[in-house]
Amino acid sequence: MAVTISDLPDLSSDYSLHDDNITYFNENGHVLLRAVCSSTEIAPYREAIVNAVKNHNHEARPIEQRDTYGKAFLQTMNLWTVDEKVKRFTLASRFAKIAASLMGVESVRLYHDQALFKEAGGGHTPWHQDFFYWPLDTSKTVTLWMPLVDATSDMGTLKFASGSHKAGYLGPLEISDASEQFFDELVKMMGFPLFESGNMKAGDVSFHAGTTLHNAPANKSTRNREVMTIIYFADGTKIAEPDNPYRTADLKTWLPGLKPGDLAASELNPLIR
């Protein structure tokens, strides 16, 4: 029987984040936290998110006919705005409080959520910095990345270049073969240690900063890597002048009605406490 809203577990209780986790995040630009949700908590949300992806993702091309970006994952964005059950997940205060603590801020706003399902046989995710896409005048951004199923490393869990966030914004490269090649060389040249997330249980979470270089291997397994992500930024952030077409498009889509210099606080960016 399908999950109803009243079946969904309450995700407002605190996760016990340790100072060590925060120190690690500040040093490395990413941190892996185990069991942010229990398997019992995650199961009904998984059902809701998988159904929402089925209803709202319209990719119909076989993997072989897509480019590198299209092969990497089925991307379905801002599901919280179209599905009340997903909304309960995306706006959960347990997650937002971790995000705020990691960034050392009072409170956070939502940028957007996105389901990223790397299909069985799906391709690698090239090296990139998320910040390339965002017209936000801050370094205080963080992405929550949570598998909804147990994800083994051969399904494509994330790899991070530790400490790369401290190098700041490294240039206008969208997720592509070119970003993979450029940043692969840069990672080697700069000698950033690599951190592979390895096997993750459903409900484990990695958080990474907006300028942390990351990629993911292909999904060599026969199972879909079902992942939900939520992007947060510090409350009080202003909108920066977009300097590439992706940032211009993001401004229109995720910060509707706002312009450079405005507080990033549209109706799509609720404060989450």
Ligand X SMILES: O=C(O)CCC(=O)C(=O)O
Chain positions contacting ligand X, by CB under 6 A: 72-73, 116, 118, 125, 130, 143, 145, 156, 214, 216, 227, 229
Nearer to ligand X, 130 or 180 (CB): 130
Between 28 and 229, whose beta carbon lies closer to ligand X? 229
Q: What is the closest distance, in whole angstroms, from the C-beta atom of residue 49 to ligand X in the complex? A: 14
CA distance 89 to 126: 27
Residue nearest to ligand X (CB): 125
- End-to-end, the C-alpha distance of the chain in Å comes to 32
**Residue 210: CB minimum distance to ligand X, A:** 9
Q: Taking the complex as a whole, how short is the minimal distance between the CB of residue 216 and ligand X, in angstroms? A: 4
Residue closer to ligand X, measured from CB, 135 or 156: 156
How many angstroms separate the CA atoms of 212 and 28, rounded?
Answer: 8
> Which is nearer to ligand X, 77 or 240 (by Cβ)?
77
C-alpha distance from residue 239 to each of 203, 263, 264, 270 (Å): 32, 6, 6, 15
> What amino acid occupies position 18?
H
Q: How far, in Å, CA of 241 to CA of 34, rounded?
A: 37
Distance of CA 187 to the CA centre of its chain: 21
> 29 or 156, CB closer to ligand X?
156
Min separation Cβ 202 and ligand X, Å: 15
Nearest to ligand X of 21, 215 (CB atom): 215
Minimum Å distance from CB 153 to ligand X?
13
Tally of CA atoms within 13 A in the half-sphere of 109 that contains its CB: 18
Tell me the closest approach of the beta carbon of residue 60 to ligand X, in angstroms: 21
